[in-house]
């Protein structure tokens, strides 16, 4: 009898927690690991192919994971993106585990180390409301 009540309470709590986490998830937006969790932010990967079928919305979060001694993340404008200009950026991230909250509009990211950008370590996305 006591056990039965305890089990019911457990199930109710489980459902409550599940609902709460779902609400939080939707309220805070999606979290995207750039290049997926296994590959991450690295050279010789087609990040625009990775982003192609994803829909990014304001409030979503991009997470760049990489070895901080090998790469970094520069948020740049379209010109710097196209031409891999590394000394002109709006944000520079270097922790190796960087979260960027997306704002509406276009966003461009490149790696500022060596010729990584030229080797394809660059990402361009469109963020809708």
Alpha-carbon distance 45 to 21, whole Å? 33
Nearer to Cu ion, 30 or 43 (CB): 43
Nearer to Cu ion, 16 or 67 (CB): 67
* Total of residues contacting Cu ion (CB under 5 A): 5
- Whether the Cβ atoms of residue 121 and residue 43 lie closer than 8 Å to each other: yes
Interface with Cu ion in residues 68-127 (CB under 5 A):
71, 111, 113, 116, 121
- Whether the Cβ atoms of residue 29 and residue 60 lie closer than 8 Å to each other: yes
Interface with Cu ion in residues 5-44 (CB under 5 A):
none
3-state DSSP assignment of residue 50:
helix
Q: What is the binding site for Cu ion (CB under 5 A)?
A: 71, 111, 113, 116, 121
């Amino acid at each position: 009898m006591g056990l039965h009540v305890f089990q019911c309470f457990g199930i109710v709590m489980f459902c409550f927690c599940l609902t709460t986490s779902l609400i939080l998830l939707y309220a805070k937006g999606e979290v995207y690991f750039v290049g997926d969790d296994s590959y991450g932010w690295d050279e010789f990967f087609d990040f625009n192919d990775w982003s192609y079928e994803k829909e990014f919305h304001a409030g979503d979060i991009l997470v760049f994971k990489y070895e901080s001694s090998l790469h970094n993340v520069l948020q740049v404008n379209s010109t710097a993106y196209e031409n891999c200009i590394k000394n002109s950026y709006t944000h520079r991230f270097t922790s190796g585990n960087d979260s960027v909250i997306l704002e509406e509009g276009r966003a461009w990211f490149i790696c500022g180390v060596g010729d990584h950008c030229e080797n394809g370590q660059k990402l361009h996305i469109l963020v809708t409301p």
